[in-house]
Each structure stands twice: as C-alpha cells, then as structure tokens.
Amino acid sequence: MTSSPLIRALDRSAVTFILVLVAIGVIVPLLNLALPPSSPWHVPTYLVALWGKYVCYALLALSIDLIWGYCGILSLGHGAFFALGGYAMGMYLMRQIGTRGVYADPIRPDFMVFLNWPELPVYWYGFQHFAYAALMVLLVPGLLAFVFGWFAFRSRVTGVYLSIITQALTYALMLGFFRNNFGFGGNNGLTDFKDILGFNVQAQPTRAALFAISVAALILGFLICRTIVASKLGMVLISIRDAESRTRFLGYRVENYKLFVFTLSACMAGVAGALYVPQVGIINPSEFAPGNSIEAVIWVAVGGRGTLIGAVLGAAVVNYGKTTFTSGLLAPYWLFVLGSLFVLVTLLLPRGIVGTVRHYRGAWRERRNAAHGRGAQAAPKPAE
Amino acid sequence: MDARTTSALLYLDAVSVSFDGFKALNDLSLTVEAGEMRAIIGPNGAGKTTMMDVITGKTRPDKGDVYFDGSHDLTSLDETQIAELGIGRKFQKPTVFEMHTVEDNLRLALKDDRTARATLAWRETAAEQARIGEILGVIRLGPVRRRVAGSLSHGQKQWLEIGMLLAQDPKLLLVDEPVAGLTDVETHQTAELLREIARVKTVVVVEHDMTFVRELGVKVTCLHEGSVLAEGTIDQVSANERVVEVYLGR
C-alpha cells in the first residue's frame, strides 16, 4: 500500500489487459498493411476502420464507467461530449479541404458558401491548425462539463434528476447543431474530408495509423482511469457512490471530487469523438441524439460497471452485435435486441460480464483459501 | 475569527427548526463544556436527531445561534467545513462504506488532507498505518481488518463507525444511538469504549437505552418536543415528574 499510485494501478489484470490492447494495436494494422489482400490473414481496410470505430466507442464507455461505475454519476448525455470532440476534429478536417471543395473556396467550407455566408465565423478561426483543434477537442467538452458540473454538483443534483438534465443537455445541443445558422453545417454536419496532417484520410496507411492511435488513446485512458481508481481518490469516489452524505460528514468536498472526474471523463469522451470522426468520415447532429448516450451506458452495463475492462469489452461486444444484426434479415429488430439485452443484463447479470466473472473468481478463491486453512485473516466468521 | 463569546465547546441558544409547521426544535438551548461527556435522552420525536443535524450543518435552523469552540458560527457553515473544524458524527443507522475493507474505512476517516489532488498522490505513511492498527485495537476489529465492511455484523459496524470517528480525531464526537440493536454484552463493551474515548474527547451521546445511559454515568439532558425538559444526573432526571410523565404518557 505504500507504493506509488501508478504502481498500485498496474495489478495483474490491468497489465494483461494493456498487453492485449498493445497486441491488437500492433497486429491489426500489420495484418492490413504487410499482407497482400489474397492472404487469408489479411485484414481488409473496411474492417480496420470498423474496429477503429469500436475502439473509439470503447474509450467513450471507459469515460462513462469512471463516473458511473466508480462515482455513481449516471450521465445519459455523454454522447454530447463525444460529439463536441468530434466536431472540433471535424472543423479541422473541413479547413484542410481548402480549394478542393465543390465551390473551391480557400477559406470557407462548402456549406458556408452555399448559405452565402460572406466570411468565416470567428469561432472557426484557428481550426486550420491541428494543435489548436486538438486543444479544443479537450477544452470544449471539458469546459462544458466543468460549468455544467459546477452548477449541478454544487446544488446537489444527484441520481435520476442529474441523468435527466444530462439528457436535456445533449438534446438541446442536438437541436442547436441541427440549425443551419449555428454554423456547423446544419443537419448535414461536416463531411467530405480530404486530409489529416497532410495524409489522405481515405488511404489505407492512414486508416491503419488512425486505428493504432485510437488503441494508444484507449490504453492511455485506461491507465489514467486505473491510476485514479487505485488511488485513495478512487476510494473516496466509491465512498461517494455508496454513501454520499457520510463522505461529506467525514470532511470530503464531494462536489469537487465529482467535478474532477466528470470533467476528466468529458475530456476523454471528447478525444474518443475526435478519433472517431476521421475514421467514419462524417460528424452530424445525430451524434447528439439522446439514444446514443443511452446506448453507451448499456455497453458499460453489459460489460460490467466499475470494472473499466468491462466497459471496453461491453462496447466491443455490443457494437459487434449491432454490426452483425443490422446488416442481415434481423436488421429491423436490432432495437428490440438492444432493449432486451439491457433488461436481461439488469435482471440476470447485474454485475455485467466482467463483474460476474470477478465475483465468482473471488468467491472461488475464498473457498480455496478456507479449505487450505489460510482464511484466518481473510474471512473469519463474525464473533457472535 | 471573532472573539470567543462563550467558554463552552458547543453552545446552542434558542434554536428553532420547523418542518412544514411541525416544530422539531423549539427554543432549544444547550451547552456542552470541553472535555465533558453528555447523554441526551428523550422520547421519539423529541428532536434529538434534528439537533445533531443542526450541529453538523445538515439542517439550517430557522432561528437561534449555534457556536462551536466559542468562535465558529455553525449555522453559516456546511457539512464539510464543520467536519473540518473537528466535529465528527456517528449516525443512528450505522453508516460505513460497505464496499471498502474495515481498514480502508478507517483510512478514509484518518485526519489528512481532504483535497482531490492530495488523495490522488496519496501514499500511506508508517504513522498512519500505526494509527490504524491502534484504532483497530480499541474497537476490537483487528482480526477482521481485511474484510469488507458490508459483511460485518450490526454491532461490528457500530464499532467501526465509532472507530472512524476516532480516526477523524475530532474535538467533539456526536454519537447517535450507538447501542441500538446490540446485545447486552456489546452494549456494555460500547459503554466502556465511549468512557475511554471521553477521557480525551468531548462526547455527546444520544440514546434511548436507559441502562446504557446509567452505565455511562454522566450528566443527562432530557429533550421533549424540541426543548430541554430536565438536566442533571441520571437519578435526578429519572426522578423528575415531568420526565416520567413524558416517557410513560400522560
């Protein structure tokens, strides 16, 4: 217990998980780039992009698990932070199009020319620089979360009320972004991207690199979350989740703790959105749809909240299911599947996949220790 | 800080609280001296828990003054600030962090920097470890230190919460019904524990159990309908006609 927070964060399952992610991040792009399409081991580029999308979703799920699984803040509007990060990246990509657009305007994106806007709005300034856009990817969702959280947590809005306000937040943003005069391309959103940092977004190597970068971002996000939950700060978060007023009476400033993780989580969601946009090639207001945020919460519930690894796994499993289902005969029934999945997991598997595995493994270990007479310290019976 | 206005550690003057017209506290005045242990008794609805809520900042009084240590106006502070001043509270229903181990519960309660930044970089010191061991000895939970608190018995949870109070190292301990639901042996042990704590701390105990209060052997305040009905030794108070009337019904 006296080791540094980072060392404490890296227990065996965390290290294994990171190694698996590293392997995926290296092998998938290699199988795509190094092998000829004729090889049975070749991973086609469309799959790299699809899996890259899952990785971004996994990062979003991780950000939700940090606040929901560990601090009890159920945000049903995390898609908003994801989409804002995505828009920041989209704005950079739009500015890179330059004269290659339909209207060949060097400064204004096509939709502005189409709407007869004489010049670039001020809030689009600076987005031609990648560094500035990257900063905005963190800053815009982070700032919104900070302001939102500052008011919500200080007024002690919790539980279902907080969830409802987060829904309203993302819904309001969706309505705003749908409007043409909002300046973000209205319902078409931002699309038709050409380059990112001078590389063609459509090109095979760019796609492979984006995949690897997304995996790297996921690993970094996982490390940050693990460090937090394994520290004393993580212990306080769990205390807030389980007995908020008790934590307050112990002298902890609950609202500051919530604000910290909520803002951090929004920044992570923003990064996920920013990596998502170049891989799918479009960002539009439907990303703000309340349903998206709820779906992301389902990923976490399925994988197991409060486990981090479960969030990543849940995002991958549910989205794989979605891809499979929505492309066949069963396509019209996907929402029924998703809905029943949520109901069934809540009823039958309340700990989620990873939570259930850990629970039974823990119980098994305890039994084994008891059988070997080593349980004296781990599980003595109550005195009375 | 303002100049000291009273020598008492805890000073309540004419405090009133009403909920939808119901007067939970009605002109309640009470002082507790530093180093004192005080037992508060009273029938249900007498305002005992509301009084605790007012002292710890959970409820704001409609009128009246509440001063701690002579200079801190508790009515203008929130729960966290009051906890930082050195007032610790044990709840009526034992509230421990069920998912954390016994040790971690104490670790979280230990007096320390409570900011998010400090907890992120936190490393346990040998002194902290020793202090936890010490408290575990006092509350007799050493053998179960690595168990999650949720799996403890009711009595063990009561003690763990008292241990958390000790770890906070407050000047004033507010203990709400520490022996509710305990066996006779546990009740006796709890009285012993509280007497031991009272040697170095100021303690206010709210309790129904008369045998327990008698065992504590301290000054008793009886509340009724939100104000003080009687004050004195347990024998004086229990001989008071009004008190008998209130307890047995008129």
pLDDT at A130: 97
Please say whether the beta carbons of B158 and B94 come within 8 A: yes
Higher pLDDT, A381 or B216: B216
Contact (CB<8Å) A5/B122: yes
Nearest to B100 among A238, A248, A252 (CB): A238
CA dist., res. A212 & res. A28, Å (int)? 8
Helix (H, G, I), strand (E, B) or coil at A144: helix
Tell if the CB–CB gap between B153 and A242 is shorter than 8 Å.
no
Q: What is the mean pLDDT of residues B206-224?
A: 89
**3-state SS string over B216-234?**
HCCEEEEEECCEEEEEECH
Domain ranges of chain A: 5-375
- pLDDT given at position A8: 81
DSSP string, A277-307: HHHHSEE-GGGG-HHHHHHHHHHHHHH-TT-
Mean pLDDT confidence for A251-264 = 96
Q: If you search the block for the tokens 């769990």, which residue do you land on? A: A238
In B158-217, the residues whose Cβ lies within 8 Å of chain A are: 164, 168, 183, 186
**Least CB-CB distance to B183: which of A235, A248, A384?**
A384
Contacts of A206-210 with CB under 8 Å at 24 or more apart are A207/A32, A207/A45, A207/A48, A207/A49, A207/A52, A207/A279, A208/A28, A208/A29, A208/A32, A208/A33, A208/A45, A208/A48, A209/A29, A210/A49, A210/A52, A210/A275, A210/A278, A210/A279
Enclosing H/E stretch for B205: strand B202-206
Place B3 in a pLDDT band, splitting at 50, 70 and 90.
low
Tell whether the model's pLDDT for residue A195 goes beyond 90.
yes
Residue pair A196/A206 in contact (Cβ under 8 Å)? The answer is yes
DSSP state at residue B39: E
Amino acid at position A339, single letter: G
Query: What pLDDT score does A256 carry?
Result: 96
What is the 3 state secondary structure string of A170-219?
HHHHHHHHHCHHHCCCHHHCEECCCEECCEECCCHHHHHHHHHHHHHHHH
Is a pLDDT exceeding 80 seen at residue A238?
yes
Name chain B contacts of A239, Cβ cutoff 8 Å: 97, 100, 108
Q: For A15-33, what is each residue's pLDDT tens digit?
A: 999 999 999 999 999 999 9
Confidence of residue A362 (pLDDT cuts 50, 70, 90): confident
A5 closest CB neighbour out of B96, B120, B183: B120
pLDDT band per the 50, 70, 90 thresholds, residue A210: very high
Mean per-residue pLDDT for A202-223? 97
Q: Is B130 on the interface with A (CB under 8 A)?
A: no
Place of tokens 């009320």: A161
**B183 chain-A contacts, CB cut-off 8 A:** 384
* Mean pLDDT score, A186-205: 94
Q: Please report which confidence band the pLDDT of residue A177 belongs to, taking 50, 70 and 90 as the band edges.
A: very high
**Tens-digit pLDDT profile for residues A93-126:** 999 999 999 999 999 999 999 999 999 999 999 9
Residue A136: per-residue pLDDT: 98
pLDDT above 80 for A2 = no
Q: How near does any CA of chain B get to the CA of A125, in Å?
A: 35
**Which phi and psi (to 5°) does residue B110 adopt?**
-50, 140
pTM of the model: 0.91
Residue A351 identity: R
CA atoms of B175 and B39, how far apart (whole Å)? 9
Query: pLDDT at position A382, please?
Result: 39
Q: Which residues contact A329 (CB under 8 A, 6 or more apart)?
A: none
DSSP string, B90-136: E-SS----TTSBHHHHHHHHSSS--SHHHHHS----HHHHHHHHHHH
Percentage of residues in chain A having pLDDT higher than 70: 96
Segment among A167-181, A268-282, B197-211 with least mean pLDDT: B197-211
